[in-house]
Structure 1
Amino acid sequence: MAFEKFTGKTLEEALDQAAQAKNVMVDELHYTVTEEKSGFLGLGKQVEIEVYVEKDVEQFIHDYIQTYFDNAQLDGEVAISNDDGFYHINVNTSNNAILIGKAGRSLQAFNRLVKMAASAEFKKKVGLLIDVNGYKQERYAKLCRMAIRVAKDVRRTKIDASLDPMSADERKAVHNALANMQDISTHSEGEGDKRHINILYTPGKETE
């Protein structure tokens, strides 16, 4: 469990203790009051809280992935950066083909697994993206080049086109790549693994 418990006569006192122990400011704490005793005539009053900070989330993600590598007897080094509560995980390994899989499907499944584990541990939605040996950046570049070619055909023929299904992060990269293309707009549709991007001919669309 990544949570730590702290007690005090008041909530403020318990938070102060947690902040000192975690070496952070009070407003950086994520906490839940787990027990509150009123005492008798104000004596014995106590507040207990469960606390975690962003570093605890990073440590959990790191340890979870590292444990997976150890159990699967795979080599791997994990580096994590926190972008305002969204975690970017870079993995360096010689077993990239196993982790990535065909068209990145194994990596997508692993990403979902780690995301679900972290979200369950901290009882909130944890956003994260795992990249293996720079695969994601190369994949984004390839998909964006393809999408631009298709968009140019749509603009020339005035016939809308649909791309193959992609993961949410890949769709975001394509949307951004085409956002300022004249006479072209994009729209995602479909559910789950079938969610894809439609490239639409939109004459007169304003661009920045």
Structure 2
Amino acid sequence: MEFKHYTEKTLDEALKKAAQDKGVSVEELHYTIVEEKSGFLGVGKSVEIEVYCEKDVENFLISYIQQYFDNAQLDGTVTLENDHGFYRITVDTSNNGIMIGKGGKSLQSFNRLVKAAASAEFKKRVGVLIDVNGYKEDRYEKITRMAIRVAKDVRRTKIDASLDPMPADERKAIHNALANMENISTQSKGEGSQRHLCILYSPGKEVE
């Protein structure tokens, strides 16, 4: 997409124009000053800005994913939930195997691709989590059950345990599941694709 540009005499006027055009408040705009002219004795003074809002990010994400499906000749519909600037995307498709891949690897790669494309487009880090036909929710339930079993063993034996490498969202799901477990804490270790969660015996840990 191309950012829309607005040029007015002052920054406030340019922002008000952009907000009116996009149907949002000024506070919801993200902008960069492209050019600012001081003029001579106030004559010819102007400010040019490029602007986007959260709705532009949402539209980009939906369009990007839908175009991917069209180019790959796959069926799929896309819905999006904006969770305070973190975008949760649900894809319904009959091509589960292709989109998810073995152990979720294809979905993980696709998530990184979409996240990188949006971050590059809007020149900021854009948080994205894509789920296909409820795969992620099922996955969270499975890995948290496993982690609870491991945590109980750690608490019984007092020996720390390391889980297999997994993406950040899955590590977070386990961390949340064990957050209030007595004498148990979690810590991420490793770099890149080898980043994994350790379940640690932590006697005396305070639980809310």
Taking structure 2 as the reference length, the TM-score comes to 0.98
Q: What does residue 191 of structure 2 align with?
A: 191
Q: How many residues align?
A: 208
Q: Which runs of 5+ in 1 are unaligned?
A: none
Query: Helix, strand or coil: the match of 1:159?
Result: coil
Q: How does 1:125-140 map to 2 (within 5 A)?
A: 125-140=125-140
Q: Which runs of 5+ in 2 are unaligned?
A: none
Letter in 1 for 2:78: V
Supply the distance in 2 between the matched residues of 1:184 and 1:123 (Cα, whole angstroms): 39
Q: What does residue 42 of structure 2 align with?
A: 42
**RMSD between superposed Cα atoms in Å:** 0.8
Q: What does residue 153 of structure 2 align with?
A: 153
Query: Helix, strand or coil: the match of 2:15?
Result: helix
Supply the distance in 2 between the matched residues of 1:207 and 1:14 (Cα, whole angstroms): 51
Are 2:62 and 1:59 aligned? no
Offset, 1:38: 1.7
Supply the distance in 2 between the matched residues of 1:90 and 1:37 (Cα, whole angstroms): 45
Supply the distance in 2 between the matched residues of 1:48 and 1:205 (Cα, whole angstroms): 55
Letter in 1 for 2:93: T
* Conservation of the 8 A alpha-carbon contact between 1:2 and 1:60: no
Supply the distance in 1 between the matched residues of 2:18 and 2:201 (Cα, whole angstroms): 56
Offset, 1:102: 0.8
Letter in 2 for 1:64: Y
Supply the distance in 2 between the matched residues of 1:137 and 1:37 (Cα, whole angstroms): 53
**Runs (4+) of structure 1 moved beyond 6 Å?**
none
Supply the distance in 2 between the matched residues of 1:69 and 1:184 (Cα, whole angstroms): 43
* Conservation of the 8 A alpha-carbon contact between 1:77 and 1:93: yes
Offset, 1:183: 1.2
* Conservation of the 8 A alpha-carbon contact between 1:183 and 1:204: yes
Offset, 1:3: 1.2
Query: Helix, strand or coil: the match of 2:120?
Result: helix
How much identity, in percent, do the aligned residues show? 74
